[in-house]
């Protein structure tokens, strides 16, 4: 798993690519996309309540089935608000599934390795042969889970995420600027 900062940068890249997709307010839009880009990692929460945060992490909430369900829920929510279903549903699906792809490209030294990318169609766990994000070391106990995240190894991981996903964000902003210039 990349850190929340990496997923947030991916969410902001989407926000810059398609501003005004969900909300009229830029702040609402950015916060919603940052939330959505991090949403799959909410699967830490039930384990955290039980004392073992990793218990349900990289389970079925990190899967195609979950992305489809969240996409449909997003479509339904925005249909009620804006009478549009497919476009917001597809965008919610994409941002959620992009989180899973970032996790796919992250080192994982805790079994089960990778994530069930295509569940319920396949129960198999997938991980990239050459992941380019560094794994995040963390405690398996709720009591010191947050404090265990602050270490030099994770700092290096955060640095790489900022470099790669910050680069993606910069590229998106540059393309948007170029396209705007062309339209004028
Ligand atoms: Zn994740």
Which residues fall within 8 angstroms of residue 139, CB to CB, at 6 or more apart?
Answer: 53, 145, 147, 148
Q: Could you read off the pLDDT of 135-158 as tens digits, one per residue?
A: 999 999 999 999 999 999 999 999
Ligand 1 centroid – CA 46 distance (Å)? 15
Ligand 1 centroid – CA 55 distance (Å)? 13
Asked if residues 88 and 78 have their Cβ atoms less than 8 Å apart, the reply is yes
pLDDT band at 2 (very low <50, low <70, confident <90, very high): confident
Q: Could you read off the pLDDT of 24-70 as tens digits, one per residue?
A: 899 999 999 999 999 999 999 999 999 999 999 999 999 999 999 99
Residue 141: CA count within 13 A, CB half-sphere: 4
pLDDT band at 171 (very low <50, low <70, confident <90, very high): very high
Asked if residues 42 and 61 have their Cβ atoms less than 8 Å apart, the reply is yes
Ligand 1 centroid – CA 79 distance (Å)? 27
Cα distance between residue 46 and residue 37, in whole Å: 19
Ligand 1 centroid – CA 94 distance (Å)? 14
Asked if residues 128 and 103 have their Cβ atoms less than 8 Å apart, the reply is no
Ligand 1 centroid – CA 127 distance (Å)? 12
Ligand 1 centroid – CA 86 distance (Å)? 25
Residue 87: CA count within 13 A, CB half-sphere: 9
Cα distance between residue 33 and residue 157, in whole Å: 22
Ligand 1 centroid – CA 104 distance (Å)? 9
pLDDT at 76: 96
Ligand 1 centroid – CA 115 distance (Å)? 9
Cα distance between residue 155 and residue 82, in whole Å: 41
pLDDT at 184: 61
Q: Could you read off the pLDDT of 74-124 as tens digits, one per residue?
A: 999 999 988 899 999 999 999 999 999 999 999 999 888 999 999 999 999
Of 96, 44, 88, which Cα lies nearest the Cα of 70? Answer: 96
Ligand 1 centroid – CA 1 distance (Å)? 5
Ligand 1 centroid – CA 126 distance (Å)? 13
Helix 26-38 and helix 86-104: axis angle, to 10°?
A: 50
159 pLDDT exceeds 90?
A: yes
Ligand 1 centroid – CA 121 distance (Å)? 19
pLDDT at 183: 65
pLDDT at 126: 97
Distances in Å between the Cα of 135 and the Cα atoms of 19, 57, 75, 131, 165 are 31, 14, 33, 9, 16
């Amino acid at each position: 798993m990349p850190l929340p900062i990496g997923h947030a940068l991916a969410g902001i890249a989407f926000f810059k690519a398609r501003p005004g997709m969900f909300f009229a307010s830029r702040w609402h839009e950015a916060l919603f996309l940052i939330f959505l880009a991090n949403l799959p990692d909410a699967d830490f929460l039930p384990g955290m309540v039980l004392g073992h945060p990793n218990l349900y992490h990289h389970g079925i909430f990190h899967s195609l089935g979950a992305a489809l369900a969240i996409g449909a829920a997003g479509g339904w929510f925005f249909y009620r608000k804006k009478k549009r279903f497919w476009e917001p549903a597809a965008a919610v699906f994409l941002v959620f599934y992009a989180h899973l792809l970032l996790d796919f490209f992250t080192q994982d030294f805790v079994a089960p390795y990778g994530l069930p990318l295509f569940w319920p169609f396949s129960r198999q766990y997938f991980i990239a042969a050459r992941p380019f994000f560094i794994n995040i070391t963390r405690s398996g106990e709720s009591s010191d889970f947050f404090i265990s995240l602050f270490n030099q190894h994770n700092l290096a991981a955060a640095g790489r995420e900022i470099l790669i996903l910050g680069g993606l964000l910069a590229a998106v902003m540059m393309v948007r600027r170029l396209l705007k210039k062309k339209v004028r």
